[in-house]
Each structure stands twice: as structure tokens, then as C-alpha cells.
Structure 1
Amino acid sequence: MNVSQWSRDLAMGVRFAFGGGREGWFRATLTAVGVGLGVALLLLTTALPSALAVRHQRDVARADYTYVFGHPLKAGEKTFVIADIDTPYRGADIRGRMIQREGAKAPVPPGLTKYPAPGEMAVSPALKRLLGSPDGALLRARLPYRITATIAEPGLTGSQELAYYAGSADLAAHIDPPNVARIDHFGSPRSPDAESDPVLTLLVLVVFVVLLMPVAVFVAAAVRFGGERRDRRLAALRLVGSDGRMVRRIAAGEAMAGALLGLVFGVGFFLVGRQLAGTAEVFGISVFPSYLNPSPALAALVAVAVPAAAVLVTLFTLRGVVIEPLGVVRTAKPARRRLWWRLLLPVAGLAALYPMVGQGRGGGDFNEYLVTGGVLLLLVGVTALLPWVVETVVGRLGRGAVAWQLAVRRLQLSSGTAARMVNGIAVAVAGAIALQMVFAGVQADYTKQTTNDLNRAQMSVQVPDGVPVPEVARAMTDTKGVRKVVAIADDQVGDLKKDPSQTAELSVGSCASLREVATLPSCHDGDAFVVKGSDTESETTKLLTTVAKHGRTLYLNPTYTGDDQGSTSRWTVPAGLKQATTRVDPTGYKRGGFLLTPGALPDGAGRSVQGVVYLSIDSAVRDTHEYVVNTAARINPLMHAVMLTSFERDGQFDSIRTGLFVGAAAVLALIGASLLVGQLEQLRERKKLLSALVAFGTRRRTLSLSVLWQTAIPVGLGLLLAGVVGLALGTVLLRMVGSTVRVDWPGVLAMTGFGAAVVLAVTVLTLPPLLRLMRPDGLRTE
């Protein structure tokens, strides 16, 4: 290979691209836009690891759960007390902290310059905007603090995060780890790395491959924009003495010029997108623009790979084109595409994945190279098989309406171009279907069914120590949207006032509330019950035996060694203690020990017990949850009101799903933009043909329908092939993780529908320029 000759020919192609007048610049710009969109997404992808790492570092740096169990700190120069008062608001999570400075050297929270005073708070910019908007009216009632500062970027994980720090003067009196704790620094202590879950690692790997593969397909398609006009220009070079190899190298140089310009466009798109990312939130995830810094090594790889791909793709596509001095011959009857080597790609992909089938979670880590290679080969197989499928099917399509015949004939003459336009959609849908199957197949392993009975209660309120449970119950009864209130105060009784040897549970509530946790024979205020049938029945029996021997006195809320708090009360066990049978409460918990009505509780003991209030709410009332949380915050800011759910899902699993949705949204946007550019390029190539048909009397409606059929036929075939390959890949991945193979048909249809919707939207957007092109004056030339 003559390097100097290659360099001269490539340089000549670059000059042709930028020195060919308006036509050359238009084609170079068209290619650059298509390549630039792909480059921007590639740069965004290379920046994701950095963004996730910075988010994690910021979250670790502000962590406030640094106390050590069993070794409580004493107030000192560096200590402060902090309480977790997170709160949800209309589906969004708000990170809240109440804080009290104890020592002059106590560290300031990241993002702040000083501690907020009691009655004041520092808020994130996003929360400040929400509180100042009409949508934040209910939230303002919940946060009755004066805003005196804004949390800076070092104290936040994202630009749209909702967070605040509220000052307090008496928080030290309510220390109750882990919700309220005394600590002396921010930041999580180092802990040994947890063992990674092989299935989650596999999902992350496949997600990255599936999201990046369509981008590579789009970049490869973009460098081929304007191919037909380019080939006609190359014929003129043959006329002045260039040989076939030389014109191919010149064509590669022209494509490389567009790719280089695309790199510039891509950097510009990326910088604009990075700034826009600072104002957006997708599936609860937001970042600051400074987080999105591409890895230098990966960015350099993109800068080298994109122009190199442009050259290789151009040379590969021109291998079957005969460029003669008087024109371009793509052979009057194109040779039929061969199927055998196209089938080798997906077969090789299945062969790479097959050794890991049945390995499951207990088989150790999956081989990342085999997984990446196998998934890539299967998805590349879609791009190789689709041209053969389109050519084979359209070659057998017969007569029909005029619009149908025009579309079919066009597809028969250029089936490769049609398939190339749809390849990206097919690859994206195939990967999405496979991932949807895997997520649906393994989500049961990462979803835990709770014991909550949502027919009995939909919310619960944890009442902290010192807050009378009846007071909370009355306030909740008066709250808008609350239909039923069940209030239970829980405590402990022992045989001794301090360091008891025998203890039992004690629950206090009205007769109606006690019937939610036990089956009672009869009940009046002043009654007391001993519970039978619970797991702690034997402990209660021992305590009663001890009481019978040493008097009938027990102690509520006994203290233990090292506990300098508590207000112990004496309780005399009544002689006629009734028996009750335990019953699961709305959260599935079975109480034991003793049940007391308020009249049986000793004087002064009501404020020493903690409790829980179960609420049945009216779902027809809008914002009932917000009203309940506001009532709880008004009584005591440390009170937590939560929605009861029927299941809980693993946080890592949810994070991966969220990452997939965020990436899929970006890829779908790229799909739409690239398809739109490609469609406009195709219409521009056929400008004179469309004008000629209109001049001969063809109706515009007929031509519009023909363009629609030209898109619909390959899209339908591409989605069908994507469904087959996606189901095959999903089946293999499920077998690899050891899960039962189940086809999530609603998910498969949804993914296919999303792909079809994107194509339909692009087709609609191309109709206005199509109508402008369908004019007889388009035949004029100079």
C-alpha cells in the first residue's frame, strides 16, 4: 500500500467536500449533522462514568450517619446533632435535615458557609424555585422556616435535587439513632466493598452494549448520505483519467471530511447538551454540567474511530459499484445478497453466550468479554440480515395501487438504502426487547413482598417519644381525606425499674384500635388484657409468674445501664386480667404481652410511650398524602408519615432500570433526529424525479402515500426481525441467569410500538418539505 498515494487521494477528497460549491458543502454539512449527533451521544456516554462517580462522591461527602452503635458521642467542641427529616412531595423525594450545632469547631455541612439558625433553613436552588411557585403551596405549609441561604453545588448530587437544612435549638433532647444522632463529622467511613451481584453486573454490561450499538449504526449510516450524487461526481474523475481505486480513495476522503466536520459538530452538540442537562431531570436523575467530563482516553478513541469508520464504510459500500467515465453502474440486475454469512453473525453470538447458559447467580461472574462479544454479534446480525430480508420480501411484492407500485419499485431498486435507514431502529428495538424480557424475568428476585394489608390501612405515622399518641390520632382524624384512624402506643414493661430480668410488650389504645391488633372478648375503657397466641407468649407467662410471686407491680419503660433518660412508671397488674387472642396489625406484625385501654394506664405514663398511627385514606381526595404529612410535621418535625406499599424493590436493581430508561430516552432522541436527517437527504436525492412525476400529472396524495409506503414496509420488516432477534437474545440471557423463560408480551409490544411511533413522527415531519419538492419548477436546471 502506497501511503503517500493514499494521503494525496484522501486529501483530494477532503478538498472536493469543501471546495465543491454549494452542493459539496450541503452534503458535507448533512453528513456532519448525522455524525455529530452520534458523536455527541458517544461523548455523553464516555462522560457517564465520571458523572456517576462525582454524584457518588458528593453523596458520600455529605453523609451524616457516621455514629458508631454502642459508642454514643458526648457533646464537645466538634459535635453537632442531626436528624433525618426526609419528606416526599407529589412523587418527588426531598432530602431534609434538621441540625443543631453544639461546638464551635463543628464542621459545616457541604455546600453551606454556616449553620442555619433556629427557624431558618438553607435550601437547594430547585427547592427554592418549587417553594416560590404555585405548585409549592402545600410544601410551604410543611416547611415553616425562613430561607436564609442556598446550598451550593458541593452539597448536592444534582442540579434538580430538592434538599434543605433547617436549624434547631433543642434537637439534642431527642437523640434516637439512627433518625436523630450526635456526630462530629460528615462523610461515610470506609467500609469493605460488598460482593457484586453477577446478575446486576450482567444487566449493566448488556445495557451499555444495547444503548451504544444503535449509535454506531447511525454513525455508519450518516457517512453514506448523498451517496448517489457522490458516485456521479466520481464518474467525472474517471473521465479525466483517474482509475477505480483512486476514485474510491477520493470518495473515502470526502466521507472523512464530513466525519471530521461531524466531530466538530458533535463537540458543539455535546457542549450544548451538557448545559441543557443542568436544567433537566430524567426519571429522578439530574446532574450539574461540570459532572459531564468525558474520559480523555475514551474521547480520543471516539475522535480516531469516527473518521476511520467513515473511510472503511465508504470503501466497503463501493466494493460492488462500477464507476466508469460515462456514469455509474450498480449492475442493471443487482446480484442477490447471500444469506449464509449473514446467519453466521447471530449464530456466532449465540455460540459465545452458550457456555454461560445455566450459570446463574451462584456460578460466579459472567465472562464480560464473551457477554459483550455475543450481544454485539447478535445485534450486528440484525444489520446484516435486514438488507437480505427487505430485498427478498420486496422482490416478491406484486401489483397494487399506483402509490404502492411506486413505493415497491423504488424499494426494489434501492433496498439497501431503505434497510440502512431502518437498521438503527431495528437494533435499538431488538436490544430493548431483550432487556425488557430479562428485567421482567429477574425482577421477582429483587422484589420483596411486604406484609402490609392495604385494605386495612394505606399510611402509617411513627410517633416519636414524648408526643402523646391520642393527640396525634385526634389531629389525623381532622385531616382532609382521612377516613379511619387506628392509634396504638407501644412500650415495654419489666419486673424491675432498672435492668429488668423479665420483660414483655405493652400496647395502649382505644377499644376500636385494640380490635385491629387482637380479638377481644369485650372491651370498655379501663380494661387490660393479656395476649395469647403470639410469638412472645412464653415471655409474658414468665413475667406473670414472677409477678404472682413478688407482688403485682410492673414498671413501664424501664431503664438500662448507661441510659440516663427515661421516665419509668409503676403499673399494678389488675386481678381480673382478661385474655385476648393476637391478630396481625395492618403491617402484618403480631403483638404480644399486654393490651391496655387509656383508662388502665397509670397517671403520667401517656407521654413516655412511642406509637404508630395507621390511616385509611380516601384516594378520591387529591393530595391526601400531602395533608397527612403536613399534619405530622405541624405536630412534630421528627414525625414520619409514610405510604404503605405491597412490595419493596432492590435499590440497585431500580437504579439500573432507571439508567436504562434515561439512556433509552437519549437513544430514541438520536434515532428520531438521525432518521429525520436521512429522510430529508433521500427526498433531496429524488427532487427531480418527484418534480417529473408531478409534471406528468401524478397526484401529490399518491406521491405522499408512496413515500409513506417506502418507509412503512422496511420499518415493518425491521421491527419483525428485531422482535425475533430480541426474543432470542432475551431467552439466552434469562437462561444464563437461571430464570424461567417468560415472554413479556406487553413489554415486547410496547418496545415495538415505541420504535414505530418514532418512525411515524419522523415521517409526519418530512411531509412539509416533501410537498414543497413536488413542484414542476423543480425540473429547472442551470
Structure 2
Amino acid sequence: MSMRQWSKDLAMGVRFAFSGGREGWVRALLTAVGVGLGVALLLLTTAIPNALAARDHRDSSRQDFTYSAKKLPKADDTLLVARSDTTFREKYVRGRLLEAEGARAPLPPGVGKFPAKGDMVVSPALDRLLKSDGGKLLRDRLPYRITGTIGQSGLLGPAELAYYASGDGLASRLGNADIERIDYFGPAPGSQPDKLDPVLLLLVLMVFVVLLMPVAVFIAAAVRFGGERRDRRLAALRLVGADGRMVRRIAGGEALAGALLGLVLGTGFFLVGRQLASLMNVRDTSVFPSDLNPSPALAVLVALAVPAAAVLVTLFALRGVVIEPLGVVRTAKPARRRLWWRLLLPLGGLGLLYPMIGQGNGNGNFNQWLVIGGTVLLLVGVTALLPWVVEAVVARLNSGSVSWQLAVRRLQLSSGTAARMVNGIAVAVAGAIALQMLFAGVETDYTKQTSNDMTRAQMEISLRSGVQLGEAGRQLAHTKGVRRASVISLSSAGDRPKNPETQMEVAAGSCAELREVARLASCKDGDVFWIRGTDYDSDTKKLIGPGSTLYFDPSYDETPAHSAAWKVPAGLKTAETRADPTGSVRGGVLITSGALPANAADSLSQNVFVTFDPSVPDADDYARNTAARLDPLADVFTLAASEQSQQFRSIRTGLFVGATCVLLLIGASLLVSQLEQLRERKKLLSALVAFGTRRRTLSLSVLWQTAIPIGLGMALASVVGLTLGAVLLKMTNTSVRLDWVSVLSMSGIGAGVVLLVTLLSLPPLLRLMRPDGLRTE
């Protein structure tokens, strides 16, 4: 068969699709909508790598902390930057204080000029938040006047909360870890981005495969819309002399027409969705529309693969249909589906994944082609097995109510159509179950339990020197929502005022406050203790000999001498170690407030352990506001029982975003498919109503026709998902644990989507059941 003949037959099918009257247009449009939704999600997926690369580039270009051991001298092109990040109602706010030291000081990306004293420039999202009623607490924390906004080049996404404010006197606090002198914005020389370990790379790979498989299944199902009516039209072509192969190629041309129109609609859906992307903020992650640019090569691949797949799927679907001049041999009872070749797909997938079992993190990256191939075969196995399962089960269903019998009989006549509707959701659920098992299994490897004692404190606030002793404790104790504030004043002491040979820790406070960091047998104001039982006992004993002199906050070569001398008193008491609320064990010397030398107060920083009243909303934000008033550069840490890897959280966020898009696609495509099925049965439904069948009975029959396949699909998806999840856990060298919560939740979500689509299709169903639907032209 020549390519010319193929082209002519396909072109004829395209003409039939658009010149076949209302019937042909409706079928082409339904196919195009189904394909278009899938194409839009494919284009979105191909754009994700570019969006992530653009975010990373902007993040890298605004880096301002190099952590270099070499300190820059003050010059005309240097800038002092202080980190002033904060959190508002669990949302991260990126903040910087800027103090230019010369006319050529570098500007941050996205900022046109330095804010004047008392001013700040903010991101558009932060501007909206501060001007809203819900931003009053945050406005109290940022006492600056807004004079401009940060441009796109200085933000990760449109929903990012960020600001640059004018700093003052930052040079006097240089040396603090949160203040640095820089002469450019950007990554430190020689810095490399963090690389993902093999297990995290496997997670990323699985997320993409699992999210794209349902899209491919839906596109394959969409090109088969209206198959029965199309086959009857093809039978008429046999009457005018077309052979069987020719009519199949014409059918392929009709599918090609719908796919090409779907490419156009899909591009439109993608462009609309891209503009709406700036309105979405999922787990504090957002993207600019301009970032969502598909790779040209991948976009061309989608444009070529979708029409080709439409033709191939149609030819494959018609392989067992005999199209004769007098009708289509589809209405007769079809031959039983064979099981053996359907089992080869999941078995082949397991065979590809088996060599990587036990590899874990220690044996390099997983073979990505084996991972993709094995996962695809397992998930495609769902689409191959489900028609056989539905046919085998519904063949054994008989007695029941009228609605049940109507549904069962319809499924017995066209179980393949019912299975096609459920295939996409079943693949999505199977992949989701496997991913949830994998995430749950490896989560402990990327989550570490902290030593924080949440019963003693829920927040730690670190205030730099310069805050009057006792003031932090008083103000925080009187803050709304704070039940208790315990202040420990901290410094170090050495044997010399500059470049000391030996140092030790010093903590000061009241007796009650000192008991937070040590065990004291007895205590009164004026006592001094040394903590024994630590690794530094010998150093401490050298420094605290009777009559020796120590120097608070000793300086080093690059900093001027400002140490305060302190003569060690006689009769030091001993104290035993005790972990503070963060689990840290302190050594050195404890000094009660009455024994603290006056000239040492300025060298002390203050750590405040805060306990909240859980009945007061926003208590932590009130405490942050108080801390910001005391010291704009205060470090505030919310204590948590565990900490999770940022990379792991980012991948899980990506899964959540992708799953949301796929669920929307599933719902929309299922609705289109359901409407197409109802349209095909319009005359049958009208005839049943005309003969007296109750509409309630027909509505229930439609519900049963959906519920039976979805129940079987969820059962099969659970089996395949659990199998794939177990294999992935074995690959990561993690013990297999069945996550029944994930299985039930994913199955419930899948079933819920289908039931919601069924309910949305009831209004058009009621319209189609009117007796006037029997009219014909």
C-alpha cells in the first residue's frame, strides 16, 4: 500500500469529519475537547522544566550571602545586607535590610533604586497582603513606608512575599552571621546547586511517569468517541465499493481530524491556563505565566505524537470489528477476551524493575529507562486487564431491580466502552497509590526528629547585643498569647581581651531562668556557678581559678577590642548539666543577675524561650511582632518535633500540584465522555420513557453503569498500585509496609470524581429522556 493511497484515505476521513453535518461536527468537537484537555496538560508538563529553571535562575541571581572566609573592606561599590526573614501565619516572608556604602553599591534584581530611610519596596503579593484587613499584624511588624514594588526578575513567583527595607547602623554589627558586606548579587564563586540523591531522583521520575500516564490514556479514549455511529457510517461506504482496509483508514482520518482540532483547542486551553497560573498558589509555590514556555522539541513531539496516536488507536480498535455493507458485526455477542497476553504487560514491567531491587542510595542512580519502561508497562497493564475484568464480572450478574438489570445488560453488550471510561482514573489511582507508598516508606529517611521539648517552649527568640537586659523578658511576657517567657543572657569569656587561647560559655539570668539550662541545688541572687560534667570541664577549671580575670566577648584580629573585664569571685558553686528546651547542653559558667558586672551587659545576647497559650489565635505572630520591635534582626525559631528535607518537601509539593491538574483533567474528560455516551443513546432513552419507564429508574441505571466499572477499576488499581509500590520500596532498600490509608483515600478520591461527574451529567440526561427525542429528520 502506497503512502499516496494512505494520504488520500486519511484526507477523505478528515473531510467526512467536517462535512458530515451536525452529527460529524458534534463527534469531532467532543473528540477535540477530550484530546485538547490532554494536550493542554502535556504542554503544561513540558513547560515545567523551563519554569523550574527560570525560578532557579532568579533565585541564584539574587543570592546575597556568600559565606566567604575573606571579608570585603568598605568601598564605593559595597553594600551591607542584613537578613530579616520572618513568618506570618505559617507563610514565609523573605526580608532584607540594605545599607549602601557608596554610589556604586549593587542593586538587588528587580529593584530600581535603594529605599530611603524608613522606606521599603515590596513584592506585589506582600503589597496586597499589607493593604488587606488580614495583614494588620504583619504591618505592625514592618514599620516601613511602601515606596515601590519588586520586579519579576527579583521574585521566585507572583505569590512570593518579599521586601527590601532601608537599614541603619549595620556596620557596627558586622560579623553577625545575618549581616554581610557584598559587592555583587549572585551565587558565590565555585558554588554548585544541591544535587538530588538517587532515591529523590527516583521520586521525581515516578511523579512525571505517574502523572502523564493518565493523560495518555485519556487521549487514547477521547479519539474513540462516537465509535458505534461512526462504524455504521463506514458500513455505508462498503456499499459504494470501499474495502475493509480502506474504511479503516478513513476512520483513522476522522480520528485524525478530531486530534488536529484537539491540538488547536489544547493550545488555546494551555494559553488560557498559563495566564491563570499566576493566580494559583499551591503550598507557597507559584509561577509567572512567562515561565511556562514548553521546550520547542517537546512541543513538536506532542504535536506529532497525538495525531499519530489517534490514527493508530483507531486502527487498533477496529481490528476486531467486521464492517460489512449491510451493517457492523459489533451488535452480536463478541468473542471472549483473552487473558494471557494482558498478563504479559505487568509481568514485563516487573521484569524490568527487578534488577534494581535492593539498590537503595548506595549504588548510584537508578536506570531511568528501566524505571520508565517498567512503570509504564505496569500501568498500561491496568488498561489491558480492566476490560477483561469488567467483562468477566458483568457476565455473571443477573437478577436485581429494573435499574440494575438495565445497567448490567448495557454493560454486557458494551463492557469495553465502560472500561475505557474508567481506564484513566484507574491508572491515575494505581500510580497515586504506588507513589504514596513510596513517599511514606522513604519519608523517615528525609525526616529527623529534633531534640526540642515542646512541653517547655514552642518558640526560641535570639536577640543580639544592644537590647537592655530584662527588657526582652518583660515585653514578651506581657505579649498577647504568651503564657511564659524565660530569658537566658549569653556570651563567652576568655583569658585575654583579644585572641584568647581558652574560652568558655557564660550564661546570666535569674535563678528560675538559670534552672532552664542547669540543675541547681540552691540558688539566690548574687551566686555564680560552674557547670560540671561536660566535655570542657578542664578548660573551665583553668579559667575560673580564684582571683583570675576573664574578659567577656573577647575580640579577634579583624574586630576592634571591646572586651569587659570580670574578676572571678571566690566560692563558686557547682551545677549539674540540664538540656535546655532545644535539647542543647550548656557548659561554662552561670551568673545570677546580681553578680553580673555592669560593664558586661552590653556584650550579652539574649535567648528567650516562649510558651504560648494555645487558646489564643496568632499568638506566635504577636510574639514575632514584639521581637521585631526589640531587634529588627532578631532570629525567631518555631520549635518543632521534627524537620523534613527541603528537597523532599519540594518534590511532594510538585506531586500535589501535578495531581491537582490531573484530577481536573480526569473530571473534565470523564464528563465529556459521559455526555458523549448519553448522546449516543438518546433515542433509546426516549423510547424507554415513551414506553413508561420511570426517569428515576433510568437515572439509577446510569449510576449503576458508572458504579460497577469504577468499583472493579478501583479494586484492580489497588492491586497494581500496591504491587508497584512494594517493588519501588524494595528498590530503595526500604521495608515494605502496606499503607492502607493511602489505598483507601486514593480509591475514595477516584470514586468520588466519577460519582461527581455522574451527578453533573444528570441534568442533560433528564433532557435527553423526553419523548420528543424520538423525532427524526
TM-score band w.r.t. shorter chain: over 0.9
Structure-2-length-normalised TM-score = 0.99
1:258 deviates by 0.3
1:741 aligns with 2:745: no
Instruction: Render the CA deviation track for 1:283-317: whole Å, top value 9, x for unaligned.
Output: 21111111010000000000000000000000010
C-alpha separation between the residues in 2 aligned to 1:637 and 1:607?
17
- Larger deviation, residues 747-756 vs 391-400: 747-756
1:74 deviates by 1.2
1:552 aligns with 2:548: yes
C-alpha separation between the residues in 1 aligned to 2:278 and 2:332?
54
- The answer to whether the 8 Å contact 1:486/1:513 transfers is yes
- The answer to whether the 8 Å contact 2:333/2:413 transfers is no
User: Who is 1:418 aligned against?
Assistant: 418
User: Who is 2:618 aligned against?
Assistant: 623
User: Who is 1:348 aligned against?
Assistant: 348
What residue identity is the alignment partner of 1:397?
A: L
Instruction: Render the CA deviation track for 1:451-496: whole Å, top value 9, x for unaligned.
Output: 1000110001011122234111111001001011111011111222
- The answer to whether the 8 Å contact 2:543/2:550 transfers is no
User: Who is 2:746 aligned against?
Assistant: 751
1:511 aligns with 2:506: no
User: Who is 1:231 aligned against?
Assistant: 231
C-alpha separation between the residues in 2 aligned to 1:277 and 1:166?
29
Fraction of identical pairs, as percent: 67
- Larger deviation, residues 734-743 vs 278-287: 278-287
After superposition, residues 271-350 of structure 1 pair within 5 angstroms as 271-330=271-330, 332-350=332-350
User: Who is 2:89 aligned against?
Assistant: 90
- The answer to whether the 8 Å contact 1:117/1:168 transfers is no
1:191 deviates by 2.0
1:60 aligns with 2:39: no
Instruction: Render the CA deviation track for 1:497-517: whole Å, top value 9, x for unaligned.
Output: 222222211100111111111
What residue identity is the alignment partner of 2:423?
A: N
- The answer to whether the 8 Å contact 2:36/2:266 transfers is yes
- The answer to whether the 8 Å contact 2:36/2:262 transfers is yes
- Which secondary structure does the structure 2 equivalent of 1:229 belong to? helix
What residue identity is the alignment partner of 1:85?
A: S
User: Who is 2:4 aligned against?
Assistant: 4
- Which secondary structure does the structure 1 equivalent of 2:543 belong to? helix
- Which secondary structure does the structure 2 equivalent of 1:492 belong to? strand
After superposition, residues 269-668 of structure 1 pair within 5 angstroms as 269-330=269-330, 332-544=332-544, 547-548=545-546, 551-564=547-560, 567-668=562-663
C-alpha separation between the residues in 1 aligned to 2:499 and 2:75?
29
- The answer to whether the 8 Å contact 1:463/1:469 transfers is no
- Larger deviation, residues 463-472 vs 597-606: 463-472
What residue identity is the alignment partner of 1:158?
A: G
- The answer to whether the 8 Å contact 1:407/1:709 transfers is yes
User: Who is 2:160 aligned against?
Assistant: 161
C-alpha separation between the residues in 2 aligned to 1:754 and 1:229?
33
Instruction: Render the CA deviation track for 1:384-429: whole Å, top value 9, x for unaligned.
Output: 0000000001111120011110000000000000000000000001
C-alpha separation between the residues in 1 aligned to 2:469 and 2:26?
75
- The answer to whether the 8 Å contact 1:469/1:488 transfers is no
User: Who is 2:725 aligned against?
Assistant: 730
- Larger deviation, residues 346-355 vs 361-370: 361-370
C-alpha separation between the residues in 2 aligned to 1:244 and 1:119?
81
C-alpha separation between the residues in 1 aligned to 2:177 and 2:543?
30
1:67 deviates by 4.7
Instruction: Render the CA deviation track for 1:251-277: whole Å, top value 9, x for unaligned.
Output: 100000000000000000000000000
What residue identity is the alignment partner of 2:556?
A: Y
C-alpha separation between the residues in 1 aligned to 2:259 and 2:752?
29
- The answer to whether the 8 Å contact 1:488/1:613 transfers is yes
What residue identity is the alignment partner of 2:267?
A: V
Unpaired stretches in structure 1, ≥5 consecutive residues: none
User: Who is 1:72 aligned against?
Assistant: 71
Structure-1-length-normalised TM-score = 0.98
User: Who is 2:710 aligned against?
Assistant: 715
C-alpha separation between the residues in 1 aligned to 2:461 and 2:28?
64
User: Who is 1:149 aligned against?
Assistant: 148
Instruction: Render the CA deviation track for 1:519-572: whole Å, top value 9, x for unaligned.
Output: 11211111111111223222212223xx34xx332221122222215x322222
Unpaired stretches in structure 2, ≥5 consecutive residues: none
- The answer to whether the 8 Å contact 1:628/1:641 transfers is no
User: Who is 2:46 aligned against?
Assistant: 46
User: Who is 1:184 aligned against?
Assistant: 183
What residue identity is the alignment partner of 2:594?
A: G
User: Who is 2:771 aligned against?
Assistant: 776
- Which secondary structure does the structure 2 equivalent of 1:680 belong to? helix
- The answer to whether the 8 Å contact 1:67/1:182 transfers is no
What residue identity is the alignment partner of 1:474?
A: R
- The answer to whether the 8 Å contact 1:66/1:185 transfers is no
- The answer to whether the 8 Å contact 2:519/2:577 transfers is yes
Aligned length: 776
User: Who is 1:251 aligned against?
Assistant: 251
